[in-house]
Amino acid sequence: MKTFNHEISIANSCDIIRRSKDVFAPIKEAIANSFDAIAQRQKIENEKFEPKITLSVHFTSDKDLTGEKKVILDFISIEDNGIGFTTDNMTRFKKLAETTKGLNNKGTGKIQIFHRFNEIIVDSAFVENNRINNLSFSCTKTGVYKEIPTELKNNDVKTIVKMKEFISDEKELEFFMKYQNSIDELKRDILKRFLLRLWLGVSQYRLTFEIKIFLDNKKKEKFVFDQKNILKPDKETKIYVNTEQSKLVNKKIEWSIVEPKHEIAIQRFKLASDEIDENGVYMCSKDVVIRPFQFHAIGKNNNLGGFHYLICISGSILDDPQNLNQSFDKFTFPSKKEVEEKLKGNPLFFSESEYVFWEELENKITDGLIKIYSDVENLQEKRNKYITDLAKKYGIPQEIANVANINFNDTSEKATKKLFVTQAQYLAKQSIKIQKTYEELKQLKIPQLNPIESDNYREKFEKIVSELFTLIPQQNREELARYVIRRDMVVELLKKAINNQLELQQSWIKKKQDGEKIKREKEGIIHDLIFKRGSKGIPNDLWILNEEFVHFNGCSDIKLDEIKINGEKLLKEKTKIDDALKSVGITKDSYLKRRPDIFLFPEEGKCILIEIKAPDVDLATHCDQIQRYARLIANYSQRKFNQFFGFLIGETIDKVSLPSGRYNKVPYCDYWVYPDEPIKSIGEVEAVIANLYQEIIPLSEIAKRAEIRNKSFAEKLGLNDDKYNTKNADENL
């Protein structure tokens, strides 16, 4: 059978593989290849040498058309004494995505070089067949390959890679041109990306890493990273990881700890924030960074007292190739659950085996990181505040968060899941205990109130509440009982409004069936139930969405150019509302019909916007409405708003039509969150001036959550209702 191989050009590869946003990517890839070449040579049995890498940036001077001197970038070279361009390595170079090097390498690094340089020139002297061989060639982005005479002496083991003809734009060229002014700029860029590998190479193999700046082939500046000046860890600690042995006792798997324990070192590098721009924790095998370790208590971009930290985790158990996959990019420590399932599935072939479990490794590393960061001020307090804020974000009480058993290094996803699981368990226990409530109330017909047409709707509502309150025998809990009954009635009215069961809605349906033309205010009846249109401040029933909202300064269905905060107009005095609306994509007609339904001002710099839609309106088609109003306010307000909170509420949501990748469904709840949407300035240069946190919530979910909160109040009061009894407990959960 005849076969053929597809071929792809370098230029085609550049179209397929996106260009890195990091302008330094070509140098980074070339240096990484040098580290890999050195690691390959170190793997050769009995091969001992002092590794060396040299990075040189070459500039030349010339005169422009006016006769003025100008400096241009000539080429960048990386020299190392690694294994070199052996026959195998040359074969890899010619292939795209060749991964057989086995050094955490995807084989596509050269494409990043060709994204910004048109030509690569290689001059390599290497050992093959027990003698030194030479290979020199050039390769262009268009695929032109030609061999050239070598410039290396025959007794040198050395490889020089030159990157020539910079082909990116002027802005990116400026990034490299800064090196002609100071070698410190180049030092900073190297440290940001290679500090861990530099320190490991220096401490273990006496690596030297030189950087040089040339102008017209004359060396201007030089700096050497070596044992004398490479940054050392400012803090170290050791952890000890257990090995566990399996035994089969009475058909059950039992585990025992095997001595000795494995020692793992954790080293911390402390750098000024202007030297390195992020924190990181890395697990290493020998001198190669294998994978990052997620330590969620310290954010990647957290500035800790003017410093950032890089953490290196190393030890003999991590160096053991049996604990690495073939691609050398992942550790293979199993979980205990995986091993037990495997052993239970093969009881006839059970044999006593020893394992280091990932859970053990993860927990011990986390303990070590807590120690290594012990001098970082208020770390535990900040972590506790994060959990508190997370619970508050999802409306979960602090007492539940306190017993949720959230580990110090749990991800936000894990922490959120634990919060909701704990809350569900709590509510289940409480619901089972709750007995019959509001028995007399349930025997009464829910009042057919009309919040739209009745000007004294609230007075009538309060009168009915007072009448129903007579059903509560415990006089010492009078105010709280009235509070619960009133809220329960609001929830019942909302549920009826959602399902068109209010008397007014039924009359609308009948009139339509009779052929009468009527105007049905599907949205308005729900709007007025929650916060009467055209009103300001309180009273309102925004507690149904969030308990705190009833206390905030706000208004309902008021034009933006008429809203005042503490007597001061929201928008700047000279703002032309028509132009402002147009600048954010809101038509005047839609503004008159659909102004921000509810505007709340909780505190300086923060704004809450609530949009209410009729139950049959698809919320997915209105996802950008709040964003537009937030942008308008952020740009034209007299006050500075940097954080907006948006709540789009209705009943119908076409989940398929929700903007892809923006909204995430909240675990265990029926609503969606877009936590951080940037709000940009209006003008030629758009800059992020605020952020928008937005939720899309069905009305039925709001009613459900409000009902759960009322259950908690009712239980504390000792009230009873047949909907809370143990017979229906499972249905209500």
> Does the structure show a pLDDT above 80 at 460?
no
Cβ(694)–Cβ(648) under 8 Å?
Answer: yes
**For residue 18, what pLDDT is reported?**
67
Average the pLDDT over each of 9-23, 125-139, 276-290, 695-709 and give the range with the smallest value. 9-23
Q: What is the mean pLDDT of residues 74-103?
A: 75
> Does the structure show a pLDDT above 70 at 430?
no
Cβ(230)–Cβ(216) under 8 Å?
Answer: no
**For residue 308, what pLDDT is reported?**
85
**For residue 32, what pLDDT is reported?**
83
**For residue 264, what pLDDT is reported?**
93
Contacts made by residues 139-144, CB under 8 angstroms, sequence distance 24+ = 139/10, 140/10, 141/10, 141/11, 141/14, 141/114, 141/167, 142/9, 142/10, 142/11, 143/9, 143/10, 143/11
Q: What is the mean pLDDT of residues 398-404?
A: 82
What stretch of H or E contains 554?
Answer: strand 553-556
Q: Which pLDDT tens digit goes with each residue over 149-161?
A: 887 776 788 999 9
> Does the structure show a pLDDT above 80 at 466?
no
d(CA 645, CA 316): 50
The reply to whether CATH 1.10.10 applies to domain 10-225 is no
Quick one: DSSP state of residue 571?
B
Q: Which residues pair with 698 in a beta bridge?
A: 650
Residue bearing tokens 């789009």? 648
Cβ(469)–Cβ(480) under 8 Å?
Answer: no
- Residue (of 197, 204, 212) closest to 160 by Cα position: 212
**For residue 503, what pLDDT is reported?**
80
d(CA 643, CA 649): 20
d(CA 330, CA 283): 10
**Which residues fall within 8 angstroms of residue 427, CB to CB, at 6 or more apart?**
708, 711, 733
d(CA 98, CA 634): 50
Task: Please state the three-class secondary structure of 45-100 as a single string.
Answer: CCCCCCCEEEEEEEEEEEECCCCCEEEEEEEEEEEECCCCCCHHHHHHHHCCCCCC
Instruction: From residue 675, give the alpha-carbon distance in Å to each of 301, 320, 542, 643, 692.
Output: 18, 42, 21, 11, 7
**For residue 565, what pLDDT is reported?**
87
Q: Which residue type occupies 325?
A: N
Question: Which of the pair, 479 or 504, is modelled with greater confidence?
Answer: 504
**For residue 348, what pLDDT is reported?**
60
**Which residues fall within 8 angstroms of residue 246, CB to CB, at 6 or more apart?**
253, 254, 255, 339, 343, 350, 352, 353, 354, 355
**For residue 429, what pLDDT is reported?**
63
Q: How many CA atoms lie within 13 A of 463 on its CB side?
A: 7
Query: Residues of the chain with pLDDT > 90: what percent?
Result: 15
d(CA 650, CA 613): 5
In the structure, what pLDDT confidence band is assigned to residue 583 with cuts at 50, 70 and 90? Answer: confident
Here the tokens at position 279 are: 């924190």
> Does the structure show a pLDDT above 50 at 617?
yes
**For residue 347, what pLDDT is reported?**
62
What are φ and ψ of residue 158, in 5° steps? -160, 150
Q: What is the CA radius of gyration of the chain?
A: 34
Strand arrangement, sheet containing 235-249: 288-292, 280-285, 307-314, 252-272, 235-249, 354-355
d(CA 336, CA 167): 52
Instruction: From residue 557, give the alpha-carbon distance in Å to each of 571, 593, 596, 600, 646.
Output: 16, 10, 6, 11, 15
Quick one: DSSP state of residue 639?
S
Q: What is the mean pLDDT of residues 137-155?
A: 78
Average the pLDDT over each of 237-246, 452-461, 485-494, 512-521 and give the range with the smallest value. 452-461
Average the pLDDT over each of 2-11, 106-115, 168-177 and give the range with the smallest value. 2-11
Instruction: From residue 664, give the alpha-carbon distance in Å to each of 299, 412, 652, 682.
Output: 21, 14, 17, 28
Determine the longest span between alpha carbons in the chain, in angstroms.
104
Q: Which pLDDT tens digit goes with each residue over 631-677?
A: 889 998 988 999 999 999 989 988 888 887 788 888 877 888 998 89
d(CA 233, CA 242): 26
Question: Which of the pair, 176 or 731, is modelled with greater confidence?
Answer: 176
**For residue 344, what pLDDT is reported?**
76
For Cα atoms 447, 452, 457, give the angle at the middle one, nearest 5 degrees.
50
d(CA 628, CA 519): 28
- Residue (of 59, 34, 24) closest to 164 by Cα position: 59
**For residue 1, what pLDDT is reported?**
47
> Does the structure show a pLDDT above 90 at 232?
no
Report strand pairing: 643-650 vs 688-698: parallel
d(CA 529, CA 73): 69
Residue bearing tokens 């422009």? 64
d(CA 292, CA 105): 16
- Residue (of 426, 548, 447) closest to 493 by Cα position: 447
Question: Which of the pair, 128 or 109, is modelled with greater confidence?
Answer: 128
Report strand pairing: 208-215 vs 52-63: parallel
List, in sequence order, every beta strand (DSSP E) within 321-363.
354-355
Which value, to the nearest 10 degrees, does the dihedral of the CA atoms of residues 290, 365, 422, 608 take?
A: -60
**For residue 725, what pLDDT is reported?**
35
Quick one: DSSP state of residue 542?
G
Question: Which of the pair, 155 or 702, is modelled with greater confidence?
Answer: 702
For Cα atoms 167, 171, 172, give the angle at the middle one, nearest 5 degrees.
50
In the structure, what pLDDT confidence band is assigned to residue 717 with cuts at 50, 70 and 90? Answer: low
Cβ(644)–Cβ(690) under 8 Å?
Answer: yes
> Does the structure show a pLDDT above 90 at 218?
yes
